[in-house]
C-alpha cells in the first residue's frame, strides 16, 4: 500500500461531516451518487483499528451527554476551549454570553467552527500560544481531550503552558477516560506491554486516518484518576473535584495552586 501522506485529517473529516449534516457542499459519495457516512478511523500501534461515526463532533446541546452539560456549569470567566474542533461546546458557551476562545491545530476544524458562528479562534498549539499575552480563567478539555496530555512527560510541558496562560484562580475542566475497566485481552495485553516499556498503561500510540490522509503517530493518554493525580504532582495544578457518574468517563477539575 502507498503510505498515506500526512495532512489535516481531522479538518478534512470535520468538513465532510459538516457537509453531510447540513446538506451543503461536496461530500463523499459511493459511485458518485450515494452518500457515505463520515467515519473517523483510529489506528493503534499494535495494529488495532477502530472506526467511529464523526457526526457527534457536530452535536447540538440537545444531543450531548449529560456530562458535557455538567462541565459547562463549571465554566467561569474567559474560557479557552482546547481542541475546539467544530466548536460544539464553544459555540454554545458563546451563545450563553460567555467569553470563549477556541484553539485547535486543525485549520479545517477552525474553519468549520467559524462557519458555525464561533468568533474568537486560534489556530495554534498550546505551547506556542502560551507566549501570547492572553489570559484565561477556564481551560476546557472536553470530548475526552484530557488525552491531549499525551503522556506523563509531555503533560508537564502542556500543563506549564496552561499555567502561563492562566489568570489567578484559573481551573482546567477536562474529560478523561479510565481505560482499566475492560477485561478485553486486546486492551489488557496492550496496557501490560505499555507498562513493561515504562509507559502508562493507557498511554495509547495512535494515528488518525481519513480518506487519503493520515496524521503522524502521537501519544494519547487515557489514564485513571489516580494516574492523573500523580501526573499533577509535578505541576502548578491540583485536582479539586472528580465527577465519575458516567464511568469510564470522568470530569476532572484542576485548579491553579496559589
Residues in touch with a second copy (CB under 8 A): 1-5, 28-34, 36-37, 39-41, 43-53, 177-184, 186-187, 209-212, 214, 217, 222, 247-249
Burial class (CB in 10 A: 0-12, 13-18, 19+), 172: buried
Give phi and psi for 217, each to the nearest 5: -75, 140
Q: How far separated are the first and last CA of the chain, in Å rounded?
A: 54
Residues 206, 42: contact at Cβ < 8 Å? yes
- Shortest separation between residue 245's beta carbon and a second copy, angstroms: 13
Residue closer to a second copy by CB (options 27, 114) is 27
- Shortest separation between residue 40's beta carbon and a second copy, angstroms: 8
Residues 251, 224: contact at Cβ < 8 Å? no
Residue closer to a second copy by CB (options 45, 150) is 45
Residue closer to a second copy by CB (options 65, 92) is 65
Residue closer to a second copy by CB (options 30, 233) is 30
> Is the backbone peptide bond immediately before 50 cis, with ω within 30 degrees of 0?
no
Q: How many Cα neighbours within 13 Å face the side chain of 112?
A: 28
Residue closer to a second copy by CB (options 121, 194) is 194
- Shortest separation between residue 24's beta carbon and a second copy, angstroms: 17
- Shortest separation between residue 110's beta carbon and a second copy, angstroms: 24
Residue whose C-alpha is closest to residue 74's, from 146, 162, 140, 167 = 140
Residue closer to a second copy by CB (options 136, 220) is 220
- Give the gyration radius of the chain's Cα atoms: 18
- The Cα 125–Cα 163 span in angstroms is 15
- The Cα 37–Cα 77 span in angstroms is 38
- Shortest separation between residue 239's beta carbon and a second copy, angstroms: 20
- Shortest separation between residue 31's beta carbon and a second copy, angstroms: 3
Amino acid at each position: 500500500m502507498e503510505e498515506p501522506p500526512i495532512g489535516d485529517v481531522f479538518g478534512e473529516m470535520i468538513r465532510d461531516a459538516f457537509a453531510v449534516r447540513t446538506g451543503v457542499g461536496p461530500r463523499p459519495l459511493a459511485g458518485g451518487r450515494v452518500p457515505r457516512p463520515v467515519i473517523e478511523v483510529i489506528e493503534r500501534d499494535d495494529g488495532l483499528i477502530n472506526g467511529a461515526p464523526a457526526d457527534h463532533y457536530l452535536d447540538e446541546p440537545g444531543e450531548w451527554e449529560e456530562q458535557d452539560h455538567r462541565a459547562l456549569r463549571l465554566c467561569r470567566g474567559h474560557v479557552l476551549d482546547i481542541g475546539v474542533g467544530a466548536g460544539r461546546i464553544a459555540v454554545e458557551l458563546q451563545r450563553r454570553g460567555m467569553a470563549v476562545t477556541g484553539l485547535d491545530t486543525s485549520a479545517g476544524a477552525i474553519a468549520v467552527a467559524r462557519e458555525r458562528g464561533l468568533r474568537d479562534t486560534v489556530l495554534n498549539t498550546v505551547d506556542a500560544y502560551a507566549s501570547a499575552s492572553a489570559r484565561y480563567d477556564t481551560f476546557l478539555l472536553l470530548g475526552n481531550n484530557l488525552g491531549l496530555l499525551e503522556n506523563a512527560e509531555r503533560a508537564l510541558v502542556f500543563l506549564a503552558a496552561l499555567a502561563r496562560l492562566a489568570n489567578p484562580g484559573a481551573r482546567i475542566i477536562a474529560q478523561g477516560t479510565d481505560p482499566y475497566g475492560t477485561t478485553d485481552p486486546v486492551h489488557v495485553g496492550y496496557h501490560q506491554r505499555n507498562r513493561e516499556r515504562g509507559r502508562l498503561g493507557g498511554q495509547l500510540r495512535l494515528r488518525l486516518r481519513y480518506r487519503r490522509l493520515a496524521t503522524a503517530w502521537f501519544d494519547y493518554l487515557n489514564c485513571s484518576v489516580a494516574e492523573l493525580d500523580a501526573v499533577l504532582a509535578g505541576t502548578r495544578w491540583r485536582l479539586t473535584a472528580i465527577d465519575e457518574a458516567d464511568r469510564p468517563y470522568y470530569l476532572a477539575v484542576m485548579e491553579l495552586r496559589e
